[in-house]
Structure 1
Amino acid sequence: MLHELSIRNFAIIDDLQLTFGPGLNILTGETGAGKSIIIDALSLLLGDRATAEWVRAGADVAEIEATFHLAQPNGSATASATEQANEVIAEVQRLLEAQGLDEPDSPQWLVLSREVRLNGRNICRVNGRVVSLQILSEIAGHLIDVHGQGEHLNLLRPRTHVHLLDRYAGLLPLRREVASRVAALRKVRAELDRLRQDARTIAQRMDLLQFQVEEIFAADLQPGEDEELEGERRRLANAEALLSLAQAATAILSEGEGEMPGAIDLVSEAVGRLERLARIDPDMNAAAEDAQALLEQLAELARHLQDYAEGLEFNPERLQEVEERLELIHNLKRKYGDTLEQILAFGQKARDELEELSNWEVRTSELEEAEERLLHEIGQLAAELSAQRQAAGEQLARQVEAELADLQMARARFAVAVNQTPREDGAYLPDGRRVAFDATGVDQVEFLISANPGEPLKPMARVASGGETARLMLALKSVLSQADATPTLIFDEIDQGIGGRIGAVVGQKLWRLTGQDRAAQGDGPGVTHQVLCITHLPQLAAFGDRHFTVNKQVQQVDGVERTSTVVRCLEGEARIDELAQMLGAATATGRRSVEEMMAEVASVKAGARHGGVLSSVPKG
């Protein structure tokens, strides 16, 4: 769960430290105080776009740091829910270990941070180590799920419905199997399209490939040959000068010039004298040995030069052959690669393609068989996926309708439409039909609703009013979140468009997501969550296990008025005062109403913990 959040120099937030607890954490306060800015800060950890505009005026960098406690689920969760929660923690640990970001000394703690600088640069860190934004957001995405006001729009987009249904029903593994077959089919079809070009194009390509293969492999290139030829050409082209220089050097070493004896003779005489000197003074033995070694080196050098000179030849014909060979290699490099290895690799690739095109009819037949096989496999798996979606859709509809009844839409009907579209080149279903498909399967999933009795089921975007959409979204989120193992769920002002009495029901539902109503029973369904919620409704806020108030304060800083966000954790009388102000009745009577509301909430929570039905709704 999210344990601590630190925000510095972000928008109107100067320096803020928040410690959240398990259960339902409520944030309230006046409009514009910075409640949603706190959620915006967390969203940056999830990969939202960051700009210099987020940096507080007068500062150079904004910093967001979140500390998470990777706790194992408690005994209130079912085996299935425990398994889901364990999978989330295991996946986070796997990501950390893969990137070398784990902390063996304290594996239960994780720190994510992001800096936004005025120059536009962003720095992301995990456990203090710099990472890419992709890694940061991937890890954070397993730990936090933000449900903002924009969720209303997402629910009105039918393309998102299949993802919501599959997540609810736990169908993602089966869907991944379908997606892998679809990816394989797309690869097969791409190759088929390439092979099914007209015969003239294939013939032209084969002629070009045949020429390239013959030109490259007829040259019989040998690795390192070009460098050896370059050296041989230099020797052949300069044979006369090389011979003259080698002979002159040999003569100086062995014969000398004019009356001057050769260097070897001079050194030999010096060696003799040093040997006599060493016999008199043994300390000179080393010098005599060095001189003898020098004499042997000069003699070896003279022999090497003699052999070199004898190996030189004036061979214009060989020089012509070398130059022609180098010209051939140069032309091949100009066409096919900068090195002999690259030329040979190009030739092998051309040879492979030529062989493939030479057997294109056989290959085409093989690919057509693979296409048919994959279309049947996709259809079989997708049909299984579709059947499970149908069953899950009916179950989801019943649960959503039950939630809507709690939200004063008892006569509303909800349904999940799962349809297929016929297509001649589509996947083969077991019943013989061919239907369109994509990586999600063969279904078009859409949520339908009838808000009023007698009205037919229609797409949500065409039926639901603003308030009905908000309640429908809450019903769906309440149901879907029970199947979502993300530890921390954040709801940003999702009470828009609903009244106080329904707000109390929403508060109950959010509190139930924390699993506290199952804590004493140990056999309740679903996953337990830490929930953070921003709200303007006191009836909802009353259900909070921890209540924060967010306010603005204006201070004089260097003679200039600066606005900052201040957050306080409310308890006792301070919380009653806040709820009374939210009711718009900051009077003794208002306080009594709040006290009655709090007592009723406590009674509802106690009844739920002991297996009671959440039927009592605080009036507020």
Structure 2
Amino acid sequence: MLEELRIQNFAIIDELELTFDAGFNVITGETGAGKSIIIDAVELLLGGKTNTTFVRSGADRALIEGTFVLNDFTRAVITPILQREELLDDDEQNDYITLAREIRSKGRATARVNGVTVSNDVLREIGEVLIDIHGQSEHLSLLKARQHINLLDDYADLLEVRSGLAQVVETLNGVRDEIKALIEDEEALKRRAERLRHEVEEIDAAELKLDEEDELRAERKRLANSEQLATLTAQATILLHGDDEADEQVSAVDQLMEVSVLLGKLAQIDPELDDDRDLADSLSAQAEELALSMRRYNDSIEYNPERLNEIEERLEVIGGLKRRYGGTVEAVLDYAERSRKELDNIEHSEERLAALRVQEKKLLEHIGELGSRISTARAKAGKTLAQGIIAELNDLRMQHTRFEVKIEQREDPDGCYVGDKRLAFDATGIDRVEFMMSANPGEPLRPLVKVASGGETARIMLALKRVLSQADHTPTLIFDEIDQGIGGRIGAVVGEKLWALSDG
């Protein structure tokens, strides 16, 4: 609800601060006292059009600021807007919100929410949740035809059922998007299939293995350094096992064997050296094994330019595939698998299209069934709603007023199935709902927005608000000139209804 309103340098107002309590608040005064100027200021606060004439003569700027207390409903609606516009932290609790509008005498206008500058569209979007002004204002939620279906469904307790319908419609839209993608560009699908086929064949022909690249790189390194490997292993073998051509050189293996013999003799004298003797025996045996291993390795080393070229070519093939399809061999294989599945879907697109058509028809039949049930409930609730509003208007000295909830359907060749017809639909169902009214005898029913203005509109809105009070959650209602053209007795009735509407 609107808790505080501050106005500075607006029209004839120098400075004004108003504090409102929950419930019924009344502003009275003689003609010309400035009541309508307060309404104009509130309209501006809600995103209304600005004009430099609003700035008080001699002032540089006009400022209107309103502080609102949020209830559970308004918080649930406004919080996503604040988060979308980055005006609220995710974990921040917002019990109050402040809207402000500033108009400078040179023509520039600024809108703010909680002190942060926003677009006028955002200000208007938030304002529509917080206030309805009934009278000669554009801020009449009940006069907006697009809201009538929501008000009727809330009144008829159909929102939960309608939510289920919306989910089915969303599923249908996904199916139709896939159908469209399949039939929209058949040539493009053929080209895509040809490219995928070529890519899969290229990857399959390479017969990639996950560890192959590392093994090839290691083999390439050995082949490229075969001469150095042969030299180094030969030197190690000579040191370990000796050189047959050098008679004076004693090998490491021979020396370790001599050490082992000496330690054996020592151990016979002093048994505490048994472990050292065993270690010498072990080292001698390991050195012999190492020498043999080096000799075998040296014998296996070969210089093979042809094999080296094969490895280079193979690594180039792998590298090319990695550059085109992924940074690793694993990524290339994953790409091939995905492409194979997509190719299979394209090659079986006719079968997929036929299956989607069957699914589409079932969903359209389901939507038609749900939409028809909702439409029947709306028609019943619409009659009850109309009777209640007419009764309220009779109390407000508008005895000749007729009110009707107009529910229409439109045929559509692509619509849902209802009986032997195909009807247009959306997430709300198959109906187009609009409140219709005739305020005077002999006049035809017309859309609510075209029926009346001024105080008469305010009374019509009061009647609507009274009946739809459970369906319309706008927390602050402003009725302007609601007593226009009525006598004292009706004025008392109006007051009682306003008082009841505000929950006393």
What TM-score, normalized by structure 1, do the two folds share?
0.54
Match of 2:122 in 1: none
CA–CA distance in 2 between the matches of 1:471 and 1:269?
120
Distance 1:170 1:293 in 2: 92
Task: Tell whether 2:448 aligns with 1:460.
Answer: yes
CA deviation after TM superposition for structure 1 residue 476, in Å: 3.8
Q: Deviations over 1:436-467 (max 9, x none)?
A: 11222211111222233332221122223244
State how 1:233-244 maps to structure 2 within 5 Å: 233-244=220-231
Give the equivalent residue in structure 1 for 2:107. none
Q: Distance in 1 between matches of 2:270 and 2:456?
A: 118
Where in structure 2 are the equivalents of 1:399-548 lying within 5 Å? 399-407=388-396, 409-430=398-419, 432-482=420-470, 491-499=475-483, 501=492, 502-511=494-503, 543=504
The answer on whether the counterparts of 2:403 and 2:438 sit within 8 Å (CA) in structure 1 is yes
Q: Where in structure 2 are the equivalents of 1:577-616 lying within 5 Å?
A: none
Distance in structure 2 (CA, Å) of the matches to 1:367 and 1:47: 35
- Matches of residues 169-568 of structure 1 in structure 2 within 5 Å? 169-197=156-184, 200-249=187-236, 251-252=238-239, 262=252, 265=255, 269=259, 309=298, 311-407=300-396, 409-430=398-419, 432-482=420-470, 491-499=475-483, 501=492, 502-511=494-503, 543=504
CA deviation after TM superposition for structure 1 residue 298, in Å: 7.2
Q: Which amino acid aligns with 2:431?
A: D
% identical aligned pairs: 38
- Tell me what 2:143 maps to: 156
What amino acid is aligned across from residue 463 of structure 1 in structure 2?
Answer: V
Q: Which residue of 2 aligns with 1:37?
A: 67
SS state at 2:430 partner: coil
1:270, distance to aligned residue in structure 2 (A): 10
Counterpart residue identity of residue 317, structure 2: L
The higher radius of gyration belongs to 2
SS of the residue corresponding to residue 37 of structure 1 reads: strand
Q: Is the 8 A contact 1:448 1:457 kept in 2?
A: yes
Distance 1:25 1:251, change over 3 A: farther
Give the C-alpha shift of residue 388 in structure 1.
1.4
Would the aligned equivalents of 1:470 and 1:494 in 2 still touch at CA under 8 Å? Answer: no
Q: Mean Cα displacement is larger for which, 323-332 or 343-352?
A: 343-352
Residues 453 and 334 (structure 1 numbering): CA distance in 2 closer, same or farther, change over 3 Å?
same
* Farther-moved stretch of structure 1 (203-212 vs 402-411): 402-411
Q: Return the offset for 1:418.
A: 1.3
Judge conservation of contact 1:152–1:470 (CA < 8 Å) in 2: no
* Distance change >3 Å, CA 251–CA 450, structure 1 → 2: farther
For 2:250 and 2:462, the matched residues in 1 are separated by 110
SS in 1 for 2:167: helix
Residue 403 of structure 2 aligns with an amino acid whose one-letter code is F
Code of the residue aligned with 2:160 in structure 1: it is P
Change (3 A) 1:437 1:45: closer
Aligned residues: 410
Listed as ranges, the gaps of 5+ residues in structure 2 are 5-18, 28-34, 42-62, 97-112, 119-128, 484-490
CA distance in 2, matches of 1:406, 1:251: 121
3-state DSSP class of the match of 2:67?
Answer: helix
Q: What is the aligned-residue RMSD (CA, Å)?
A: 5.0
2:165–2:370: 8 Å Cα contact kept in structure 1?
yes
Separation of aligned partners in 1, 2:476 and 2:264: 99
Question: Is the CA contact 2:256–2:283 (under 8 Å) kept in the aligned structure 1?
Answer: no
- Give the whole-Å Cα distance in 2 for the aligned partners of 1:418 and 1:287: 106
Q: Give the superposition deviation at 1:362.
A: 2.8
CA contact (8 A) 1:39 1:492 kept: no
Asked which structure has the greater RCO (Cα within 8 Å, sep 6+), the reply is 1
**Contiguous gaps of at least 5 residues in structure 1:** 8-17, 56-62, 68-114, 121-144, 512-542, 544-620
- Deviation at 1:419? 0.9
Partner of 2:126: none
